[in-house]
Amino acid sequence: MVSPPARYLVFFQYFGTKYSGVMETSNDQAIAGVQNYLEKAAQNLKPLVPIKFCISSRTDSGVHALCNSAHFDIQRAPGKPAFNEKQLIHCLNYHLRTEPIRILKAHRVSSSFHARFSALSRTYIYRVLTGCAHYSQIPVFERDLCWAPMGPKLEFWELKFRSRSFLYRQVRRMTGALVAVGQGKLTPHHIKELLEIKDSRAFPSYAMAPPSGLFLKSVEYNEADLDTTVSPAE
C-alpha cells in the first residue's frame, strides 16, 4: 500500500547572478532558474512522482537570497519511511554542490501548509556602496552584490523593507527613488506625483536600482506551523 506524500518546507539561499531568477524556466531558455536546479537535485531522492517546488517569494534575474523558502511533496515507494530533515538537507546539498545554492533548514509540515500563502511577511535588504567613482573601484568580492552610485566616501548602506508581500520590482523602485532624490535627479514632489499616478510605467527608468544589490533576507512564518515536535498529521 502506498503511503500518502510527505510535505516539507525548506529554507534556501543563493547568489542570483548566474540565474534567470528563482522561478523555473523552460528547457529552451539559455539561462535556467534556481528552481530548475532545486528540482533536479530533488529527483535524486527517487520519488514515485516528480517533485515540484512551490516557491514562496519570487526574485528576478540577478537578485540574491540570504533565505528564501519553498514547500514540496515527496511520495516514496511502499515500505520506504519519510525522510527526516537532516537526510533531506544532506542529500539536496550534495547534489547542489556545484551551484551557489544551499539548503539551510527543512521542516516536515502539514499537507495544508503553503510556503507562499502561509507566509506572514518577507524582508528584503538593499545594499548600496557609496564612494566609488568607477565600477572598477568596487571591491572584487562585492561587484555582483551591491549597487555603487557615486558618493563622498566609501561606505555601505543597507536599506531594509518588510511587508507581507511586494509588487513587481517594488523594492528596486523605492531604493532607486531614494538615491535619485539624494542625487537631485528627482524631488519629493516628483515622488508624490508618481505615487498619485499609480502607474508603474511612469517611473523613470534611470531611477530603477539594479538587481545586484537586492537580497531577500527572510520569509517569516507562524512558529506553530514549523513545530516539528507535533505530528504533521495532527
The residue annotated as part of the active site, out of 28, 60, 73, 144, is 60
| CB neighbours of residue 203 within 10 Å | 17
> CA dihedral defined by 51, 54, 59, 63, rounded to 10 degrees?
-40
What proportion of the chain, given as a percentage, has pLDDT over 70? 95
What proportion of the chain, given as a percentage, has pLDDT over 90? 71
The architecture CATH gives domain 6-118: 2-Layer Sandwich (3.30)
Q: 233 pLDDT exceeds 70?
A: no
| 60 catalytic residue (yes or no) | yes
Query: Cell for 220?
Result: 517569516
Domain boundaries, the chain: 6-118, 121-217
The architecture CATH gives domain 121-217: 2-Layer Sandwich (3.30)
The pTM score is 0.90
Are 132 and 150 in contact by the 8 Å Cβ rule? The answer is yes
Mind listing the pLDDT tens digit for each residue in 67-112? 999 999 999 998 899 999 999 999 999 999 999 999 999 999 999 9
Same fold, 6-118 and 121-217: yes
- Dmax (CA) for the chain in angstroms is 69
Mind listing the pLDDT tens digit for each residue in 8-66? 999 999 999 999 999 999 888 889 999 999 999 999 999 999 999 999 999 999 999 99
Are 180 and 29 in contact by the 8 Å Cβ rule? The answer is no
CA angle 16, 73, 52 (to 5 degrees): 45
Which of the four pLDDT bands, split at 50, 70 and 90, describes residue 229? low
